[in-house]
Amino acid sequence: MLNSKMTRRTFTTRLAASAVAAATLPETLFAATHRNIHIGHTGITWLNSQVEQAIQDVAKLGFYGFETFGEVLAAEEAKGGIGRVLEQNKIPLISGYCTLNLTDPEKRRDEMAKAVAWCKLIKKYNGRIFVLGPNQVHRDTYVYADHKANIVSTLNEAAKVVQDQGLTPVLHQHTGTCVMTRDETYATLDAVDTHVLKFGPDVGQLTKGGVNAVQVVKDYLPLVQHMHLKDYNGKDDHLLGYCPLGQGQVDVPAILDLLKGRKLSGMVMTELDNDPRNLSPTPPIELVEQSKTYLKKIGVKFRT
C-alpha cells in the first residue's frame, strides 16, 4: 500500500526516474558480480621475434598470464630464455602452443621427442598447459576418416608423454589442420582417452569454420581446461578475419557464463591473430587494448 503522503502519480514518476538512473550506471556494476575470472593473452598479435615486447604489453594491460609457441620458447632459450622478462613484468607463463604432426606415423617418434623438449621449457618457466595443435593439411583433398585412427593414437601417446612431464595436454582444433570442423572435433574428442587429453577450444577458430562455438564449449565443458577467447567478423585481412573481442560474431558473454565457477588447469587466453606477412597497421598493444576495453565493459577485472 502506498504511503498516504505519496500519490500514485508521484510513486510512478519516482519509479521511472530510478529506472533511468539505473540504466545510465556503468554496465560493469551489474556484470562484475558474475565475471570473476582471470584472463590472460597469447603472444600471437606480435611477431614471434617480439616476444619480450608482447610480455611487457600484456603485463602492462593487466592480463593475468601469457602464452607463446613452443618454438618461440626454444628460440628464446638459445638467447637466455624468457624468464628475466617474465619476472621483471610480474606475469606468469601459463601455456605453450605446440604443433605436432598427427597424420604421419613415420614422424611420431620425432614428434614425441619434440613434445618432451617443449614440455621441459614450459615447466622451466612454471607453465602448466601444453596446447596441442594439429598439423596443417591440404584441406581440399584431405579426408579425415582416412587419418582418424592415426590421429587418435598419436594424440593418446602424446597426451601421456605430456602428462608424464607434469603438464596438462589440451587439444586445440584449428582451421586448415587435420582437426578443424565440428564433426572432426567431436569425432576426435569422442575417440581419444579423455582421462589424459583435455580440450582447449579456440572459439574464434570454431566461428570462422561456421560452427556454433557456444554449443561446442557446452557439449564438451567437462573437458575444457584451457581456452583461446577470440572473435571473428571476417573483415580484416591483416587479422585473418579476426577482430578484437566484442566486434564480431562470437557470443563472448555466453562463453564466459559457461565457465562461471569452474576451476581450469589453464586459463582463458584472449587472442587476436596478426598475419606476419601482412601485419595490421594498428600496433598490437592498441588491438589488445580494444579487447580489454570490451572485457571490462562486461565485468572482467584486470590486475592493477
Could you tell me which of 184, 206, 188, 207 has the C-alpha nearest to residue 198?
188
**What cell numbers appear for 231 in the block?**
572473435
**13, pLDDT greater than 60:** no
pLDDT at 34 (0 to 100):
61
Cα–Cα distances (Å) from 283 to 45, 50, 289, 296, in that order, read 9, 12, 10, 20
- Percent share of the chain, pLDDT over 90: 88
CB 79 within 8 A of CB 48: no
pLDDT at 29 (0 to 100):
44
pLDDT digits 0-9 by tens, 121-153: 999 999 999 999 999 999 999 999 999 999 999
pLDDT at 304 (0 to 100):
87
pLDDT at 27 (0 to 100):
43
pLDDT at 83 (0 to 100):
98
- Percent share of the chain, pLDDT over 70: 89
Cα–Cα distances (Å) from 13 to 21, 22, 182, in that order, read 12, 14, 52
pLDDT at 166 (0 to 100):
98
Could you tell me the domains of the chain?
27-297 (3.20.20.150)
**243, pLDDT greater than 90:** yes
Give the chain's mean pLDDT: 91
Query: Mean of the pLDDT values across residues 213-231?
Result: 98
Q: Match 607463463 to its residue by C-alpha cell.
A: 93
**105, pLDDT greater than 50:** yes
CB 37 within 8 A of CB 259: yes
Lowest-confidence segment of 8-12, 115-119, 134-138, 214-218 by average pLDDT: 8-12
pLDDT at 1 (0 to 100):
40
CB 200 within 8 A of CB 230: no
pLDDT digits 0-9 by tens, 142-199: 999 999 999 999 999 999 999 999 999 999 999 999 999 999 999 999 999 999 999 9
Whole-model pTM above 0.85? yes
Output the CA torsion 160→164→169→171 (10° steps): -20
pLDDT digits 0-9 by tens, 26-47: 444 444 456 899 999 999 999 9
**22, pLDDT greater than 80:** no
